Amino acid sequence: GPLVMRLYFIHGGNRIWLSSFLETAAFPLILIPLTISHLHSSSHHSPKPNLVSMKLPLFLASAVIGILTGLDDYLYACGIARLPVSTSSLIQASHLAFTAVFAFLLVRHRFTVYSVNAVMLLTVAAVVLALRSGGDRPSGESTRQYVIGFLMILAAAALYGLVLPLMELVYKRSKQRVTYSLVMEIQLVMCFFATLFCTLGMLINNDFKVISREAKDYELGESKYYVVLVGSAIMWQFFFLGAIGVIFCSSSLFSGIIIAAFLPVTEVLGVIVYKEKFEAEKGVALVLSLWGFVSYFYGEIKEEREKNKNGCPETELPQSLPPNA
């Protein structure tokens, strides 16, 4: 996702509302797995389940989270447009800390030595990357623009750090049984409202009118411009399905940890794909984040084993367990 978004900006794209719109605009794709899931459960259950299982309170909660996500997408795209990638990695550093704090406040997430270790290692990894960013201001960009980009990306981190635990809270508080189909319905509604929010931004900023001109001037050519836009939308849809799916199967903290663990992977891919320089910091960050990720996993497996030993095989989100778990 971030790599394709960067591809848009690197080669002459500069519409921020359009980029944020692309983060959720591919939501109709979710209809494919949803339909398959519906057909599957219709053939295995009688009476046949309803086509739409979401009830009004869940719909409203998903709509509110969708609008917050739309705002977050805008802040995120602002930062990516204005800052070098190494600086924008700061998002993830603070993002995980925000997720940890909100997960504690909203869903009373229980921390273990291993998850605290993972949060610390991943935060240090991202800070190591960000330390390199001091002299990174792109030529031709004013200090003011740079500072605005910095603040926007921090705000995006804080907001997304709130959105993930909020999602977990919605699953936990839901009066309905949360199945993976319902999770996909939530994603559909959430992405629809986020896209609506960004569409308004695009209309106000005349982005729709500019698209064809921007495509003609795009450095990689007109058709590749559209491939980048469509590719970006599809990538981000996977991102959201993954992010909220992990919350369903585990927790918002684990979702944040996976996002943070992928940050240096993105950096390394940036080196390979965009021929960016590979500084020592990137290697250090990669090792630290993999260590954090392994630490978290180790802690989870250990805890699971202990629970099983004590004859309590349940995980943290009993209400939202997949039906066949």
Ligand X SMILES: Nc1ncnc2[nH]cnc12
The single residue among 72, 168, 185, 214 that binds ligand X, judged by CB under 6 A, is 72
- Cβ atoms of 244 and 186 within 8 Å: the answer is yes
Minimum CB distance to ligand X, residue 242 (Å): 11
Minimum CB distance to ligand X, residue 292 (Å): 17
Minimum CB distance to ligand X, residue 130 (Å): 14
Q: Which stretch binds ligand X (CB under 6 A): 68-76, 133-141, 169-177, 183-191?
A: 68-76
- Give the number of C-alpha atoms closer than 13 A to the C-alpha of residue 308, restricted to the C-beta side: 6
Closest to ligand X by CB, 122 or 156: 156
Owner of token pair 């240090």? 124
Nearest 10 degrees: Cα torsion 254, 256, 260, 263:
120
Closest to ligand X by CB, 231 or 299: 231
- Chain residues 87-106 in contact with ligand X, contact rule CB under 6 A: 91, 95
239 vs 65: CA distance, rounded Å = 16
| 73 near ligand X, rule: CB under 6 A | yes
Task: Find the radius of gyration of the CA atoms of the chain.
Answer: 20
Vertex 191, ends 153 and 52: CA angle to 5°?
155
Q: Where are the alpha helices (DSSP H) in 83-206?
A: 85-107, 113-131, 143-173, 180-204
Measure CA 16 to chain center: 17
34 vs 50: CA distance, rounded Å = 12
How far from 222 is each of 39, 105, 210, 215, 217, CA to CA, in Å?
39, 48, 13, 5, 7
37 vs 30: CA distance, rounded Å = 11
Minimum CB distance to ligand X, residue 282 (Å): 19
151 vs 137: CA distance, rounded Å = 14
Q: Which stretch binds ligand X (CB under 6 A): 71-79, 199-207, 210-218, 304-312?
A: 71-79
- Chain residues 147-176 in contact with ligand X, contact rule CB under 6 A: 156-157, 160
129 vs 136: CA distance, rounded Å = 12
- Chain residues 35-54 in contact with ligand X, contact rule CB under 6 A: none
Vertex 85, ends 82 and 88: CA angle to 5°?
70
Minimum CB distance to ligand X, residue 265 (Å): 14
SS3 324: coil
Minimum CB distance to ligand X, residue 147 (Å): 19
Closest to ligand X by CB, 24 or 251: 24
Minimum CB distance to ligand X, residue 289 (Å): 15
Q: Among 135, 84, 121, which Cα is nearest to 270's? A: 84
Minimum CB distance to ligand X, residue 75 (Å): 7
Minimum CB distance to ligand X, residue 191 (Å): 12
Q: Which stretch binds ligand X (CB under 6 A): 25-33, 70-78, 180-188, 218-226?
A: 70-78
Closest to ligand X by CB, 59 or 239: 239
Q: Which stretch binds ligand X (CB under 6 A): 72-80, 167-175, 185-193, 299-307?
A: 72-80
Closest to ligand X by CB, 174 or 251: 251
Closest to ligand X by CB, 157 or 202: 157
Which positions touch ligand X (CB under 6 A)?
23, 72-73, 76, 91, 95, 156-157, 160
